[in-house]
Structure 1
């Protein structure tokens, strides 16, 4: 939460305190916010009022701490509450404003925050604390730097440049509004593997298809078919990195969420849309898809069409890539493209 949200909360809790049947967890918006609150004397009310202060991180929003108890209600000022995202499979999470959350913490039930009377005014500080002590400047001799990796930290898998033709089976067919939580689940069991892509990749689509990763490995990758708004929700890069590691060549959908579409491109996976949305209904899991001369098709000027076959039936696809994004895809992802740009000039 922001400085004003937490300063207001601190003053209310100092006056009223947290209800004995409530567990109140607070996620500060940044380290800068915490330090500024401390210097302004605004932290005391949070502690004396009974709140638990966490690190400025994703935390409870993705089930890394503050998971609600079984069969209990949780009210949160986060912006997402998909089932199970909190870390509890049978969660009942309601989304609300900070003011409503504070009122619920004080009253012990969801209530109108105006019942607490006039909320204390909070004046923004003239300037926030600037503390960059945890930022390490780049070493002028990078070749001498040794990267220390524990057993659960693996190098980022590399993607090969886009071949002339791509083909494979449809590994999974999905409907509309598939979130990045569905693609790459969060939670205390899975997220500790975020620096170990081979390990975390075993959980891609785990909640909807536990055999997906195994099937992807057996088929040397393949294709994903989606509906409208594929990849909505968190900007979670692992929802693109892990499928890349599993050999996903393209995601074909009716439409894409903007950020996830960019992430797919950055990791060398082609996000393509159906020219005719009804073609989505004709493709089944296990179908064989081939996109011949895909590099040449991407280079076609004045067109954004891609011709593919699904079980030897022609389907028309389309894209809206920029010239730079086409270069990224042909290179096999943004890292490859950047390295090539700066090494070849």
Structure 2
């Protein structure tokens, strides 16, 4: 008689990781390698990805599907952005990627509409790629170089996360929506509470959340510093795919009965109220009623964080037959061409325009500082995922994050308003209804890529070559920064800077200018000799843009010493040969002053053997013990000067 082995019940996260594991063990904290089925790139990061593919000699994408979107740099004030759009189109033809041209919409919304599939892995060079976890995918953001390797068929390496299970019960009350769910998570856990974790939602409350509601929650999981957010693929996902005329792509994926989690959380949806994140952190969340009455300048609807049709229809029904307050700029940013066509076809666009709305093209726009900047020192209520200082394009901004309901209610009154106080019936909208689908604008991979000539405008420059890490490093701390420094502060976005995304020498001139305008000039003086940066907790939170690691490396930064790091930026530093070290004694951070000279000796030996690493301060004479979280693979990568050098060496062998 054969003895049967009883299988342990698994949650959705464990099923997704287990079905794609190619190396390592699924033990929290250990490095693993995952097979990547799909990739996503956007124009702010995709131009570097295409240059990296070219440098690695790729002939054709080796994923099941890779898609390139143009959604960030849409302003065409000179030739740089349109030149890069042509470059991306031709590179997609050359390497076999789908191409979504300007005007098609925000990458995360369009990818979910057209390509997302339950049970698949998705790696994107945009931190909000995690939004696709809404439909039972393992979707993660990463630096462009990691995505380029995935397009080449290489596995994606990361440390195995633990899993936080969030049980949802009850049903959202009127005037409370999915944005308030993720704001409640941020209120409880702040911007570091998801570090090293996948957040998986389950429970009876799920049946009341549509796939696009889940997109809102999954998208902003990144603001908690998580690895990914995972939802099951259930009837809500089937309904969404049927709506998109892709029901054949549905595969059920749910947790086994009795599945467990490393950590537990519970939210009674019925007890939530309208919430708002105050300037200038997604984690600074309070009830709307506590700040009601403050005058506002702008109410902004749209972005990857609230991309669904209902996120525009509910505001349209709220303002029907009314006018927004005359002082308020009521900005509408449809997130995909499909959403815009349906708003027009169903008549809701007329309601918005009639109320005084300003209609903008489908894309990221103001969320990334590409237009719609608020007036100086004026409150802007936005349904975007982030409100870091200056990200809007106005240095003295006061951006608050809230739901479409709260933003629209406040537009009508001119002050921050709890939508429950409007005195109107809640305009519920059934977003499971069938609607117009048209994907003719999105171009499939070329049939004959060998005939394609990649078009490079004058703004495209060759990637710089970097040498390996020296055995001894002695250099000044040219910058000391505090906790929660974001990649927007390291290398800002916006209409002035992002057009240089393919020109590393030029874009490096903007490194840390919002923190210290003198930094790029001072760093250039040490470009050949090497310098260091010292940071606090959660260094490099926010956007996945690898420019925030690449530009400092170009300026000569060889090591960063911080209390802790955000996952994606930590990986990007490794990818470009910048050594990310941690203080073994966090209090040593307080002893270091900007301009101190630190000396680190025997680095290669210490990294390869696991010996202790120490930094000696020439001013104080003190020595600080340091540690790191690099795997053996990452040690080799940093010593060789980055992942691209390691890949070139491997391909040449």
Q: Same fold (TM over 0.5)?
A: yes
Match of 2:392 in 1: 86
Match of 1:112 in 2: 418
Q: Call closer, same or farther: CA 1:126–1:90 in 2, change over 3 Å.
A: same
Q: Call closer, same or farther: CA 1:71–1:281 in 2, change over 3 Å.
A: closer
Contact kept? 1:13, 1:50, Cα under 8 Å: no
Instruction: Name the SS of the counterpart of 2:381 in structure 1.
Output: strand
CA distance in 2, matches of 1:305, 1:280: 18
Match of 1:28 in 2: 334
Instruction: Name the SS of the counterpart of 2:586 in structure 1.
Output: coil
Note the C-alpha offset of 1:29.
3.6
Q: Does 1:62 align with 2:368?
A: yes
CA distance in 1, matches of 2:440, 2:574: 32
Q: Call closer, same or farther: CA 1:32–1:173 in 2, change over 3 Å.
A: same
CA distance in 2, matches of 1:134, 1:154: 27
Note the C-alpha offset of 1:60.
1.2
TM-score (norm 2): 0.48
Instruction: Name the SS of the counterpart of 2:495 in structure 1.
Output: coil
Contact kept? 1:304, 1:319, Cα under 8 Å: no
Note the C-alpha offset of 1:32.
5.0
Match of 2:489 in 1: 182
Contact kept? 1:10, 1:46, Cα under 8 Å: yes
Q: Which region of structure 1 is more displaced relative to structure 2, 233-242 or 195-204?
A: 233-242
Alignment of 1:269-288 (within 5 A): 269-288=578-597
Q: Does 1:314 align with 2:620?
A: no
Q: Call closer, same or farther: CA 1:180–1:30 in 2, change over 3 Å.
A: same
Aligned residues: 341
Note the C-alpha offset of 1:209.
1.6
Contact kept? 2:405, 2:419, Cα under 8 Å: yes
Alignment of 1:70-81 (within 5 A): 70-81=376-387
CA distance in 2, matches of 1:77, 1:132: 28
Alignment of 1:1-345 (within 5 A): 1-3=306-308, 4-35=310-341, 37=343, 42-114=348-420, 115-125=422-432, 129=437, 131=439, 133-135=441-443, 137=445, 145-220=452-527, 221-300=530-609, 303=610, 305-311=612-618, 313-344=622-653
Query: What's the C-alpha RMSD, in Å, of the aligned pairs?
Result: 2.9
CA distance in 2, matches of 1:287, 1:146: 50
CA distance in 1, matches of 2:535, 2:311: 39
Note the C-alpha offset of 1:79.
3.2
Contact kept? 1:11, 1:45, Cα under 8 Å: yes
Note the C-alpha offset of 1:250.
0.9
Q: Call closer, same or farther: CA 1:296–1:145 in 2, change over 3 Å.
A: farther
Q: Which region of structure 1 is more displaced relative to structure 2, 58-67 or 131-140?
A: 131-140
CA distance in 2, matches of 1:49, 1:36: 18
Cα deviation digits, residues 231-272 of structure 1 (max 9, x gap): 223333322121121121011011112222122222221111
Where in structure 2 are there 5+ consecutive unaligned residues? 1-305
CA distance in 2, matches of 1:306, 1:132: 56
